[in-house]
Structure 1
Amino acid sequence: MYREFYGLTEKPFSKTPDPRYLFLSRGHREALARLQYAVEERELALLTGDIGCGKTTISRALMDAVGNDGCFCFIVNPRLSAVEFLRTVARSLGIAEPAAAKDELLRQLTEAVYRLEGEKRCPVIIIDEAQLIPDQEVFDEIRLLTNFQLDDRNLMSVILMGQPELRQILSEPAHEALRQRIAMHYHLQPLSLEETLEYVDFRVEVAGGPQGLFSPDAIRRIYELSGGVPRKINILATNALLVGFGKDSAWIDASLVEELRDEASLY
């Protein structure tokens, strides 16, 4: 369809976190650098941002940056009981059959963490959508994971990622002990207009398309409708390409994007 029409070899605004399409704005670069530091120091970190701002993309970039020095556990749905949470972590650390009893499960986790330390690898537990954690007991287990230590260093890094309300949740008195252990905080902002211009051009070029496929006015309108949120930019840009293809338009201008104004409120 529109790919051949616009000289694209693939979809430039796919929702999948393909590392080839990783665009690091100033905010994304800083967030990634801070998370890398948290892993190097084996600290507890907090990354927040609105829906679609790129938190998950940054976590994938972090995994690529750390490479084999890390043993990553991604928890993408944290609606778990405390034992379910620990069993999920255990599987990611190489425990084939996590115990059902908590005391035995903790023994298995301890052995796995020290085994990884002997291999010079850092366990990195990344909990996405952490604002959905259902109860205090799970937060307590997250805090207790940071107790894996030697005399001179921690043995594990834990990264909490979530929407802005996660900060409000953690500000509650019940989470004081966990909050005090968070060594790195960062809130990811949407892209600026200039960054949106660079972002759209970058993704088109990676997909094999021509420079200037989207006019500056078109990208400005995309920015206004999306608020600079990458996921919304992707949806608007894809739909603009479909509209342009339907109209046999050689490039995407602001008038084509304007046709998506009513749809944009649904994203």
Structure 2
Amino acid sequence: MYREFYGFTEKPFSKTPDPRYLYLSRGHREALARLKYVLEEKEFAILTGEIGCGKTTISRALMDTMGESYRFCFVLNPRLTPMEFLRTVARSLCCDLPATSKEDLLQEMTDSLYRLHCEGLSPVLVIDEAQLIPDRDVYDEIRLLTNFQLDDRNLLSVILMGQPELRTILAAPQYEPFRQRVAINYHLKPLTLEETQEYLDFRMEIAGGYPGLFTPDAVQKIYEFSGGVPRMINLVATNALLEGFGREQSFIDAELVESLRSELIHS
């Protein structure tokens, strides 16, 4: 369909978090650099951003960047009780059948972390959609994970990723002990208009196409509709390419993007 018409070898605006398509805006570069520091120092970080701003893609890029000496453990659904959470973490650290008592469970985790350390591996716990954590006690368990350490270093890096409401939740006074453990707290902002143009051209080139397919006034419209959020930019751009293919237009202009307004508002 539109891929052949516009000269792409693959879809330029796919929804999957492919690190090849990670456009490093100033904010994304800063986020990636800070998370690298957290992993190198085995610290605790929080990364927040609106839905679709690229948090998950950054975590995948971080995993690819850090190399084989880092072992990433992902908790993708944090709606768990404290024990469920600890058993999920323990399972990801090589305990296939985690203990059912908390005391035994913590000992298993300690043994696993120390064994990984002796093998030259640095475990990294990434908790996605952290704003969904249902219980303050789970936050306490996350905080206590930073107690796994030797005399001179921690044994585990922890990254919490979530939507902006996570910042609101953790601003409450009862989370002061939790906040004190956080070394890096970074909020990922949407792209600027200029970055939106660069983002579109970057992804089209990765997909085998050429920059400039979207006229400057079309980019302005895409920015208006998307608010600079990459996932929304992908949605608008894909719909524009489909419409452009249907019209057999060589370029995507503002009039074409504007014609999608009602469709995008209700999507």
The TM-score range, normalised by the shorter chain, is: over 0.9
- The aligned counterpart of 2:20 is 20
Identity of aligned residues (%): 69
Match of 1:174 in 2: 174
The amino acid that maps onto 2:243 is: V
**Contact residue 218 and residue 252 of structure 1 kept, 8 A:** yes
Query: 1:242 & 1:211 partners in 2: Cα distance?
Result: 17
**Alpha-carbon offset, residue 144 of structure 1:** 0.6
Partner of 1:66: 66
- TM-score normalised over the length of structure 2: 0.97
Question: Which residue of structure 1 lines up, in the alignment, with residue 243 of structure 2?
Answer: 243
| 1:73–1:125 Cα contact (<8 Å) kept | yes
Name stretches of at least 5 consecutive residues in structure 1 with no aligned partner. Answer: none
**Which residue in the other structure is 2:205 paired with?**
205
Counterpart residue number, 2:33: 33
The Cα offsets for residues 16-48 of structure 1, whole Å up to 9 and x where unpaired, read as: 011211110000000000011011111111111
Who is 1:94 aligned against? 94
Deviation at 1:191, TM superposition (A): 0.4
> How much does 1:266 deviate?
4.0
* Mapped partners of 1:266, 1:43: distance in 2: 42
Alpha carbons of structure 1 residues 66 and 225: separation in structure 2 relative to 1, 3 Å: same
2:255 & 2:221 partners in 1: Cα distance? 9
Asked if the contact 1:226/1:264 (under 8 Å) is kept, the reply is no
Contact 2:70–2:123 (CA<8 Å) still a contact in 1?
yes
Counterpart in 1 of 2:136? Answer: 136
- Cα deviations across residues 61-81 of structure 1 (Å, max 9, x unaligned)? 111111212111111111011
Partner of 1:223: 223
**Corresponding residue number in structure 2 for 1:255:** 255
Structure 2 CA distance for aligned equivalents of residues 193 and 109 of structure 1: 47
Task: State the aligned residue count.
Answer: 267
Residues 49 and 162, structure 1, Cα contact 8 Å, conserved in 2: yes
1:133-159 superposed Cα distances (whole Å, 9 cap, x missing partner): 000111011001000111111111111
CA distance in 2, matches of 1:169, 1:265: 30
Structure 2 counterpart of 1:190 = 190
Aligned to 1:118: 118
What's the TM-score once normalised by structure 1's chain length?
0.97
> 1:131-187 CA deviation, whole Å, 9 max, x = no partner?
100001110110010001111111111111111111111111221111111111111
Amino acid across the alignment from 1:57: T
Aligned to 2:264: 264
The amino acid of 2:75's aligned partner reads I
Other structure's SS at 1:68 match: coil
Please tell me the residue identity of whatever aligns with 2:206: V
The gaps in structure 2 that reach 5 residues or longer are none
The question of whether the paired residues in 1 share the 8 Å contact of 2:19 and 2:58 is answered with: no
User: RMSD in angstroms over aligned alpha carbons?
Assistant: 1.1
CA distance in 2, matches of 1:44, 1:252: 44
Q: SS of the counterpart of 2:183?
A: strand
**Residue equivalent to 1:157:** 157
